[in-house]
Structure 1
C-alpha cells in the first residue's frame, strides 16, 4: 500500500505490517501501540495457537509415550497435554521447529527437520492470509480502530505467489532495517544464544552441503546442531536483507532501527511514518 502523507493522515483505520529480522523492535513497538487503540496481531502467536498447535502437541505426546508412567496415563485419558503459548512465550513453537543434527545433542534428522520446516511455512502463509479477518474482528468484536501486524522474521523467505500483494492491499508494509551496529548485535546474540530458525529449502541445502564439506562430515547425524545454527545465522541474515529491501521497494516503506528507537509513543510513531512516506515519495519522484 502506497499513500501520500495527506492520505495517511485521513486514513482513520490504519493497518501496519511490520517486517524485519527478529530483534529489530517489531514486538516492542507493537506492545507500545497495544496500550493505545491498536490491535496487536502476532503472526507467530497465530501460527502456534491455530496452525501448529496439533503438530506441537503430537511431538510432545510422542516424547511422553517413551516414558512408561506417562504412556499409561495418556492411553487411559488420565492426563492431557495442553499448549500454553503466549505473546511473550512462543518457546513451544521454536522447540517444535527444532535444530538439525545429532539427536543425542538435541538435533533431528534431515527428513524430520524439513517436514517441520514445511509445516511452519504453510502455517505462516495461512496466518498472513488471516489478516483481513482479524482486522474485521478487531473492529467488530473488540472495538479497536487501528491494527498492527507483527510478522515473523521469515516472511521474506516464503516465496508464496501473491502473498505480499495481498498484505499490501490491506496494510501499509513497513520494513525495519537494522543499522550496522544493530546488525552486529543481532548476529552476536545469535552466536551466544542460538535458536531454531526457518530456512528456504534451497538455502538450507546449499549451506548444509558447505558446512559438511568444511567440517569433513559424511552424515547429518554427526552435526552439532548448535554449532550449525551459529555458523549459518550470519549467512541467513545477509541473504534476508536484499529480500526485505525488495519487499519494501515494491510494496512498502523502510525505517531504520535508529529512527524506531526514538519512538516512545503512538504520536511519535505516526509522525515517523509521515516523515518516511514523505521522504520516500520525494525519492521516487526524483528517480522518475
Structure 2
C-alpha cells in the first residue's frame, strides 16, 4: 500500500504492518499503541497459540514423558499440560523451534530441526494471511479504531509473494531499519543470549556446510548449539537486510531505529510515518 501524506492523515482506520529484525522496537511500539485504541496483532503470539499449539504441546509432553513420575501421571490423564503463551512471553514458541546440534547439550538433529523449521514457516505464512480477518474482527467485534501488525522477524524469509501482496493490500508496510550502531548492539545482545531462530532452508544448508568446515566437525551432533547460533546470527542479520529493503521498496516505507526510539506517543508515531511518506514520495 502506497499513500500520500494527505491520504494517510485522512485514513480513519489506520492499518500498519511493522517489519524488522527482533529487537528493533516493533513490540515496544505496538504495546504503546494498544493503549491508544490500536489492536495489537502479534504474529509470534498467533503462531504459538493457533498454528503451533499442538506441536508445542507434543514437544513438552515428550520431554515430560522422560520423567518417570510425570510419565505415569500423563498416561493416566492425571495431569493436563497447557501453554501459557502471552504477547510478552513467547518462550514456548522459541523452545519448540530449538537449536541445532549436540543432543546432550539440548540440541536437535538435522532432520528434526528442519521439520520444526518447516512447520514454523507454514505457521508464519498462515498467520500473516490471517491479517485481513483480524482487521475486521478488531473493528467489528472489539471496537478498535486502528490496527498494528507486529510481524515476526522472519517474514522477509518466507519467499511467498502472495503473503506479501495480502499484507500490502490491507496494511501500510513499515520496515524498521537498524542504524549501524544498533546493528552492532543487536549482534552483541544475540551473542550474550543466543535464541532459536528461523532460517531459510537454502541458507541453513549453505551456512551449516561452512560452519562444519570452519570448525573442523564431521557431523551435526558435534555442534555446540549456542555456539552455532552465535556464529549464525550476524550472517542471518546481514542476509535479511536486502530482503527487507526489497519489500519496503516495492510495498512500503522505511524508518530507522534511531527515529523510532524517539517515539513516545501515538501522535509522535503518526508524525514520523508522515515524515517517511513525504521523503519517499
Q: TM-score range by the shorter chain?
A: over 0.9
* Structure 1 stretch displaced more, 155-164 or 202-211: 155-164
Aligned residue for 1:284?
none
Aligned residue for 1:208?
208
Aligned residue for 1:252?
252
> Could you tell me how far apart the structure 2 residues matched to 1:136 and 1:167 are?
14
Aligned residue for 1:119?
119
Q: CA shift at 1:71, angstroms?
A: 1.3
In the TM superposition, 1:133-212 aligns within 5 A as 133-212=133-212
Q: CA shift at 1:27, angstroms?
A: 0.4
Q: CA shift at 1:39, angstroms?
A: 0.3
User: When the two structures are aligned, how many residues end up with a matched partner?
Assistant: 281
Q: Secondary structure at the match of 2:92?
A: helix
Aligned residue for 2:65?
65
Aligned residue for 1:29?
29
* Structure 1 stretch displaced more, 157-166 or 237-246: 157-166
> Could you tell me how far apart the structure 1 residues matched to 2:214 and 2:260 are?
39
Q: Give 5+ residue unaligned stretches, structure 1.
A: 282-288
TM-score of the two chains, using structure 1 as the length reference: 0.97
> Could you tell me how far apart the structure 2 residues matched to 1:260 and 1:112 are?
38
Q: Secondary structure at the match of 2:254?
A: strand
> Deviation per CA, 1:221-256, whole angstroms, max 9, x where unpaired?
000000000001000000000000000000000000
In the TM superposition, 1:207-226 aligns within 5 A as 207-226=207-226
> Could you tell me how far apart the structure 2 residues matched to 1:136 and 1:71 are?
44
> Deviation per CA, 1:26-68, whole angstroms, max 9, x where unpaired?
0010011011010000000000000000000001111111122
> Deviation per CA, 1:113-140, whole angstroms, max 9, x where unpaired?
0000000000000000110111111111
In the TM superposition, 1:13-92 aligns within 5 A as 13-92=13-92
> Could you tell me how far apart the structure 2 residues matched to 1:55 and 1:86 are?
17
> Deviation per CA, 1:190-242, whole angstroms, max 9, x where unpaired?
11111000000000000000000011111100000000000010000000000
Q: Give 5+ residue unaligned stretches, structure 2.
A: none
> Could you tell me how far apart the structure 2 residues matched to 1:233 and 1:176 are?
18
Q: Secondary structure at the match of 2:280?
A: helix
> Could you tell me how far apart the structure 1 residues matched to 2:136 and 2:81 are?
32
What's the Cα RMSD here?
0.6
Aligned residue for 1:286?
none
> Could you tell me how far apart the structure 2 residues matched to 1:62 and 1:90 are?
19
TM-score of the two chains, using structure 2 as the length reference: 0.99
> Could you tell me how far apart the structure 1 residues matched to 2:83 and 2:19 are?
27
